[in-house]
Amino acid sequence: MNNLNIQQANGIDYNVIKKAALSSELLQKTVSLSQVEIDGNGGLKIAGVKVRADEKVIQKQLLKNIFSINPTFLKKFGNITSEKTSNDLINLIKTALTLSHVKKSNITLLANPRTNSITNILPSTKSYISNSMAIEMFERTMNSDKDLTLVGASVSENGDLSFNVKKGLVVTPEVKSQKLVGEEFNPGFTLGNSITNGLSLESYVERLVCTNGMTQTKLFSECKIEQLSDREIQKFFQVFASIKANDFIPFNLGENISKASEARASFGELKKARAIIYANSDIKKETDLYSFLPQFQREVNKLASKGIDYTKCTDIQLNNHAVGCNVWEVVNVLTDFGSHDYGFNTNYNQVQKSAGELFNKKSFDTENVLILN
């Protein structure tokens, strides 16, 4: 793109990220479901030709997502009846989809040219949005404002792409015209591109904690493109222009922070934070987890002192048990972990996104619980 001059934070090399993103582009081919066949060995054939594909692609993306067949049920069904019967069931559903749902009769195969293997199968309702397209759209957003700085960028092993951009502005949220003392933020946005989930645009704010660092809170999704079209691209830039006009500051930011600060977190919400950290990092030991989420250890010990094993409690019981910290503290644990390199190979974008989902819950678990202590 001409006249592109991206401001970059220290440690970020946009050209390196761009090169890595473009080198991970996949090959795509649209085929009719009628050409798809699962052979007797559980392999995949397209138009009678056997192709390489990951098992998860066949089991999850083809059988479960497109044919709406539970792979576990299919296996049990085949064991009870016969392999031929289970294949007949697949073919019956495939034929029904092909004949009765014209829009669902095609799928897109994505293949890694370096391994000659199919890595993903997308239904007709989703387009493969290439990283080259995502990069072009990202560069157009950066060209729209000289006061934007690229502060984070990543490309995953499968080619998923993410850019975090900060606006050079400090914001103090207000509640009923009163500033929230001690809560200052830099607003910004994230543009992400995922093979399975499409292109997304999200607002976020970086919470200024101290002079040596920040935590990051993803607030909410602004726009998502799963099926590529001129109309969807136009909508994307309309949404971008709208949030840019508001300096990327989400509405009701102060009210949301105040609400999260006043609501006691539930054990269930602590447990959710624990699961987010485990699922998106290489942390394996509880002792490592407790260094980031000491609230969880304290609550486990508190319950144990009363003879209660939390692992034997139901989700409803845990969601109705208020702990000794508020929701905003739990959110900040996640956003801190999701914005600093602590050496655990963290999926920063997903941790931040999950923190935002917790922050933006319509109601927190304890809002309708009577707390007497």
- Entry field: residues in the chain: 373
pLDDT band of residue 214 (cuts 50, 70, 90) is very low
Rounded to 10 degrees, the C-alpha dihedral 235/239/242/246 comes to -170
Structure tokens given for 257: 């922070």
pLDDT score recorded for residue 64: 87
pLDDT at 1 exceeding the cut of 70: no
Q: How many CA atoms lie within 13 A of 266 on its CB side?
A: 19
Which residues contact residue 118 at a Cβ distance below 8 angstroms, ignoring those fewer than 6 apart?
A: 44, 51, 52, 53, 54, 57, 109, 110, 111
Which residues contact residue 289 at a Cβ distance below 8 angstroms, ignoring those fewer than 6 apart?
A: 274, 277, 278, 283, 296
Which residues contact residue 354 at a Cβ distance below 8 angstroms, ignoring those fewer than 6 apart?
A: 276, 280, 334, 338
Please name the amino acid found at residue 314.
T
User: pLDDT tens, 75-89?
Assistant: 888 788 877 788 788
pLDDT band of residue 103 (cuts 50, 70, 90) is low
pLDDT score recorded for residue 210: 46
pLDDT at 371 exceeding the cut of 50: yes
Terminal C-alpha separation, the chain: 60
pLDDT at 68 exceeding the cut of 90: no
Average pLDDT over residues 305-318: 96
Cβ pair 104, 97 in contact under 8 A: yes
User: pLDDT tens, 4-62?
Assistant: 678 888 888 999 999 999 998 999 999 988 888 887 677 888 998 999 998 788 888 88
pLDDT score recorded for residue 211: 39
Q: How far apart are CA 299 and CA 314, in angstroms?
A: 16
Structure tokens given for 72: 């576990």
pLDDT score recorded for residue 274: 97
**0.75 surpassed by pTM:** no
Average pLDDT over residues 302-326: 95
Structure tokens given for 258: 């105040």
User: pLDDT tens, 162-182?
Assistant: 998 999 988 888 887 888 887
User: pLDDT tens, 120-167?
Assistant: 999 888 999 999 999 999 999 999 888 999 988 989 888 899 998 999
Measured on CA atoms in the order 225, 229, 233, 235, is the torsion positive or negative?
negative
pLDDT at 259 exceeding the cut of 60: yes
Average pLDDT over residues 81-108: 78
pLDDT at 213 exceeding the cut of 60: no
Cβ pair 24, 154 in contact under 8 A: no
pLDDT at 110 exceeding the cut of 60: yes
pLDDT band of residue 283 (cuts 50, 70, 90) is very high
Rounded to 10 degrees, the C-alpha dihedral 107/133/356/125 comes to -20
Distance set, CA 153 to CA 12, 30, 223, 333 (Å): 7, 30, 19, 21
Share of the chain above pLDDT 90, in %: 44
Phi and psi torsions of 339, nearest 5°: -135, 10
pLDDT at 221 exceeding the cut of 90: no
Which neighbouring-strand residues pair with 51? Answer: 44
User: pLDDT tens, 40-49?
Assistant: 677 888 998 9
**Average of per-residue pLDDT values in the chain:** 86
Three-state secondary structure readout of the chain:
CCCCCCEECCCCCHHHHHHHHHHCCCEEEEEEHHHEEECCCCCEEECCEEECECHHHHHHHHHHHHCCCCHHHHHHHHHHCCHHHHHHHHHHHHHHHHHHCHHHCEEEEEEECCCCEEEEEEECCCCCCCHHHHHHHHHHHHCCCCCEEEEEEEECCCCCEEEEEEECCCECCEECCEECCCCEEEEEEEEEEECCCEEEEEEEEEEEEECCEEEEEEEEEEEEECCCCHHHHHHHHHHHHHHHHCCCCCCCHHHHHHHHHHCEEEHHHHHHHHHHHHHCCCCCCHHHHHHHCHHHHHHHHHHHHCCCCHHHCCHHHHHCCEEEEEHHHHHHHHHHHCCCCCCCCCCHHHHHHHHHHHHCCCCCHHHHCCCCC
Average pLDDT over residues 95-105: 71
Share of the chain above pLDDT 70, in %: 93
Distance set, CA 305 to CA 161, 286, 300, 309, 310 (Å): 46, 19, 9, 10, 11
pLDDT score recorded for residue 22: 94
Structure tokens given for 8: 């970059």
Comparing 1 with 64, the larger pLDDT belongs to 64
Instruction: Give CA 53 to chain center in angstroms.
Output: 24
